[in-house]
């Protein structure tokens, strides 16, 4: 037991803040669950905490900057409370490792992405020895099943089915911060889902940095389509979504599974990053713009109601007006429901770092703005096409902005808002769409 627990009724308090992707959100939940076994309870401010953890992201410098400013802000807390334990977890911890302990002397713990299951033991060690601890072995196999999930709240849950990435996209830190791919055994995923459904979950989002490679290295090498087919018949499971796919591992088998399996939603997050073959080659993305368009055509032929989302980088080194125009053409041609558009950010440890950052910030900003405007037009038009239609929606609960109104998502991932009308989170209802905004569909529950 931690030293401070000399009075048996004292409850240790954990403050954990998460930066970055859904995988980090899930990792924080798993760390929270394993610390709860050690008697920790979660608090909402660092001032109240005995243990402060930041689960960090390295995908862009801005994400790391936020953590640095947090660390600066809590320095005083440590001076006034030397027993306080401060830890940095996740991708920035993995990338910077021991350098963080020397740069921030008030930090006690640095734990990377593959050793999160060791956080409780490392915190105990720090409390007993009063010495900092570091665990950043990138080759460690991620121990999937030893981290208990805290109870789920609501009908949605994230489930990580694989971690790491064996690809080498030049701009990406993921292979460096998450390591090599390793997949969770298929039966373990099935069992985890059954446990979640027993707790009231209706929809799961399967997570993997490179989810199309699911199964590599597992006995019999089941692929993502096999996994979906194993999950689909689980009683009580209403919907499955999955992220993130890449074009070069995409298969017709997966498209057919999306069409044939009733629980698999017709929504695909499918990053293309750039419409220029010259830039795609420099990014070490193993496809051309035409390859990507052919895959989109196959997806739409095999899954007629599919909606697509994507990731795009603007201002990648060497991107000129012609390259950017190629990206604009792709956005206009494919007509995504959503596009996540990022300004290129140099990442240490990536192969693109040697290319510098030659595209001026004003150019990156204007290209970002141009694409956002085009995409907003497309998204609004797609939402307008839903007006007068009835859409199946999974009720998530009070909407973030207007709590007396409920929200939920359609199978194609449109966000819908509607008066609750006696529905509860987890209900599958039909919503008649009355109108829309660029962000949401608005309607009424018409049947359940
Ligand atoms: S496939 Fe995705 S996660 Fe893997 S290196 Fe490329 S961008 Fe990064």
Separation of CA 273 and ligand 1 centre (Å): 11
Look up the domain containing 425 and give its range: 390-447
Q: What is the CATH number of the domain that holds 40?
A: 3.40.50.12160
**Band of pLDDT at residue 31, cut at 50, 70 and 90:** very high
- pLDDT of 171-199, one tens digit each? 999 999 999 999 999 999 999 999 999 99
Indicate whether 188 and 89 sit together in one domain: no
Q: What percent of the chain has pLDDT over 90?
A: 91
The pLDDT-based confidence of 202 (bands split at 50, 70, 90) is: very high
389-413 per-position pLDDT tens digit: 999 999 999 998 888 999 999 999 9
Tell me the pLDDT band of 2, cut-offs 50, 70 and 90: very low
pLDDT for res 173:
94
pLDDT of 1 above 50: no
pLDDT at 149: 75
Alpha carbon of 310 to ligand 1 centroid (Å):
13
In this structure, are 189 and 247 located in the same domain?
yes
Residues in Cβ contact with 362 at an 8 Å cutoff, skipping those fewer than 6 apart: none
Ligand 1 binding pocket includes 174 (Cβ within 6 Å): yes
Q: Once rounded to an integer, what is the mean pLDDT over residues 114-123?
A: 95
Residue 246 Cβ contacting ligand 1 at under 6 Å: yes
Q: Which of 81, 110, 135 is the C-terminal boundary of a domain?
A: 135
Q: Are 441 and 347 part of one and the same domain?
A: no
Q: Are residues 125 and 235 in the same domain?
A: no
399 lies in the same domain as 415? yes
C-alpha of residue 8 to centroid of ligand 1, in Å: 48
Q: Which atom of ligand 1 is nearest to the CA of 175?
A: 5
Domain containing residue 290: CATH number: 3.80.30.20
CA-closest residue to ligand 1 atom 8 = 172
Q: Are residues 403 and 375 in the same domain?
A: no
- For residue 103, the surrounding DSSP H or E stretch is helix 99-103
pTM summary value: 0.93
**Domain membership flag for residue 2:** no
DSSP assignment of 262-296: TTB-SEEE---B-S-HHHHHHTT-S--HHHHHHHH
In Å, how far from its chain's centre is CA 402?
Answer: 25
Q: Does the beta carbon of 245 sit less than 6 angstroms from any atom of ligand 1?
A: no
pLDDT at residue number 8: 77
Q: Are residues 239 and 379 in the same domain?
A: yes
- In testing the pocket of ligand 1, which one of 94, 169, 179 has its CB within 8 Å of the most ligand atoms? 169
Instruction: Look at residues 103, 135, 167 and tell me which one is the last residue of a structural domain.
Output: 135
Residue 8 lies in a domain: no
pLDDT digits (tens, 9 = 90+) for 125-175: 999 999 999 999 988 776 655 677 777 889 999 999 999 999 999 999 999
In our burial notation (b when 16+ CB lie closer than 10 A, e otherwise), range 218-256 reads beeebbbbbbbbebeeeeebbbbbbbbbbbebbeeebbe
pLDDT tens sequence across 70-97: 999 999 999 999 999 999 999 999 999 9
């Amino acid at each position: 037991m931690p030293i401070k627990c000399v009075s048996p009724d004292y409850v240790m308090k954990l403050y954990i803040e998460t930066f970055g992707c859904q995988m980090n959100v899930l990792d924080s939940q798993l760390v929270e669950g394993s610390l709860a076994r050690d008697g920790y309870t979660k608090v909402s401010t660092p001032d109240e905490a005995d243990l402060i953890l930041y689960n960090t992201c390295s995908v862009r410098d801005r994400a790391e900057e936020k953590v640095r400013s947090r660390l600066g802000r809590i320095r005083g807390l440590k001076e006034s409370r030397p027993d306080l334990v401060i830890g940095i977890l996740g991708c920035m911890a993995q990338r910077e490792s021991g350098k963080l302990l020397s740069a921030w002397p008030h930090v006690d713990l640095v734990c990377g992405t593959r050793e999160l299951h060791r956080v409780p033991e490392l915190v105990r060690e720090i409390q007993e020895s009063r010495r900092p601890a570091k665990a950043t072995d990138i080759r460690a196999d991620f121990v999937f099943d030893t981290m208990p999930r805290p109870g789920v709240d609501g009908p949605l849950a994230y489930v990580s089915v694989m971690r790491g990435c064996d690809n080498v996209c030049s701009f990406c830190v993921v292979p460096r911060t998450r390591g090599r791919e390793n997949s969770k055994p298929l039966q373990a995923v099935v069992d985890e889902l059954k446990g979640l459904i027993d707790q009231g979950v209706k929809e799961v989002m399967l997570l993997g940095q490179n989810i199309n490679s699911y199964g590599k290295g597992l006995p019999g090498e089941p692929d993502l389509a096999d996994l979906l087919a194993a999950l689909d018949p689980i009683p009580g499971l209403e919907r499955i979504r999955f992220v993130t796919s890449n074009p070069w591992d995409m298969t017709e088998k997966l498209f057919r599974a999306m069409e044939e399996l009733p629980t698999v939603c017709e929504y695909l997050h499918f990053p293309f990053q750039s419409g220029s073959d010259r830039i795609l080659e420099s990014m070490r993305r193993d496809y051309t713009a035409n390859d990507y368009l052919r895959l989109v055509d196959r997806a739409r032929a095999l899954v007629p109601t599919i909606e697509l989302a994507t990731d795009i980088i603007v201002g990648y080194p060497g991107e000129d007006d012609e390259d950017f125009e190629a990206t604009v053409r792709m956005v206009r041609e494919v007509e995504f429901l959503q596009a996540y558009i990022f300004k290129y950010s140099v990442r240490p440890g990536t192969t693109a770092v040697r290319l510098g950052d030659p595209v001026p910030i004003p150019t990156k900003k204007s290209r970002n703005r141009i694409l956002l405007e085009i995409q907003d037009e497309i998204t609004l038009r797609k939402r307008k096409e839903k007006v007068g239609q009835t859409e199946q929606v999974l009720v998530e609960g009070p909407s973030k902005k207007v709590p007396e109104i409920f929200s939920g998502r359609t199978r194609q991932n449109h966000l819908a808002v509607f008066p609750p009308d006696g529905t509860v989170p987890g209900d599958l209802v039909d919503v008649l769409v009355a109108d829309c905004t660029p962000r949401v569909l608005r309607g009424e529950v018409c049947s359940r």
